[in-house]
Amino acid sequence: MKVGVVGAGVMGTGVAQCFATSGHEVVVVDPDPAALASGPSRVRDGVRQRALLGGARVDPAEVGARLRWTAGLAELAGCGFVVECAPERVSVKRELFAALGGVCGAEAVLASCTSAIPVAVLAAVTAVPERVLATHFMNPAPLKDAVEVVRGAGTSEVALARAVEVLASLGKKAVVVGDAPGFVTNRVLMLTINEAVKVVAEGTAGAATVDEVFESCFAHPMGPLRTADLIGLDTVRDTLLVLRDLLPDPACEPSPLLTEMVEAGRLGRKTGQGFHTWRR
């Protein structure tokens, strides 16, 4: 099947890798020339990393040959499934969903990888709300076995079944949830991260210690601040703003320390520095 991925950042690249590794032809659309230029090598690195971590050994060149990188949304024509992975901003995603219905195939399922924006908000701008849902992949997408699938009030049984089937073709289990700001995952996780940032700002403990508490005492594989670095602090901040506006809940107001770090370009793993230092 021809698949579209909109946005070639952290998630778009990982999602594109999942589809191409499973034999799908993938068109990746991004307006940023730097994202398009670095996409192929990021996928190659991702394929090698997955093999090192015990995943199937596949030829990175073969995977790369199934991917086309472009700035043109029109190249999504004929796609049967599209995953939108653009930044977590309501205006950006609504503009894309308004265009996608007209560009993609007549039967195409339009899925968003949004962290928190309800499906209803995106479906409302399309002529095909029954084909809109969210496939909230986890990060890094190629290494995670399950996807939070969000069914909107208007999502059809057919579209939902297609999404579950397509995810199964990637070896991923769909966990279907209802439609609400942040769904299940980020209604809980984003508030936890925000509180952890406040703990650091208040001086109760440094970032390493906060994470150690979760990792050693709770046996979580990764503490909230390491998780925030992995997500991208800009994406965490944008997701909190979505939750604050839609819930609305003052607890979702991003901690001033988080905003400061984003403004200073300390975005976490993708820039090498966040609450922790990362090798790039």
Ligand X SMILES: NC(=O)c1ccc[n+]([C@@H]2O[C@H](COP(=O)([O-])OP(=O)(O)OC[C@H]3O[C@@H](n4cnc5c(N)ncnc54)[C@H](O)[C@@H]3O)[C@@H](O)[C@H]2O)c1
Q: Which residues does the annotation mark as catalytic?
A: 136
Coil, strand or helix at 27 = strand
The residue (of 10 and 27) whose beta carbon lies closer to ligand X is: 10
Residue number with CB closer to ligand X (141 or 199): 141
String of contacts with ligand X for each residue 235-264, x by CB under 6 A: x---x-------------------------
Q: What is the DSSP string of 2-55?
A: EEEEE--SHHHHHHHHHHHHTT-EEEEE-S-HHHHHHHHHHHHHHHHHHHHTT-
Among 25, 87, 187, 271, binds ligand X (CB under 6 A): 87
Q: Which of 3, 8, 90, 123 binds ligand X (CB under 6 A)?
A: 8
Q: Which is nearer to ligand X, 210 or 234 (CB)?
A: 234
| Site for ligand X contains 135 (CB under 6 A) | no
Alpha carbons 27 and 153: distance in angstroms, whole number: 29
Closer to ligand X by Cβ: residue 63 or 189 = 189
Among 17-25, 85-93, 120-128, 150-158, which window interacts with ligand X (CB under 6 A)?
Answer: 85-93
**Which of 52-83 are b and which e, b meaning 16 or more Cβ less than 10 Å from the residue's Cβ?**
eeeeeebebeebbebbebeeebebbeebbbbb
- Count the neighbouring beta carbons within 10 Å of the beta carbon of residue 263: 10
Instruction: Assess 229 for contact with ligand X (CB under 6 A).
Output: no
Contacting residues for 52 by C-beta, under 8 A, at least 6 apart:
none
Q: Which of 117, 71, 68 is nearest to 91 (CA)?
A: 117
Establish if 6 lies at the interface with ligand X (CB under 6 A). Answer: yes
232 binds ligand X (CB under 6 A): yes
Q: What residues make contact with ligand X under the rule CB under 6 A?
A: 6-12, 29-32, 35, 85-88, 92, 96, 113-115, 136-137, 139, 231-232, 235, 239
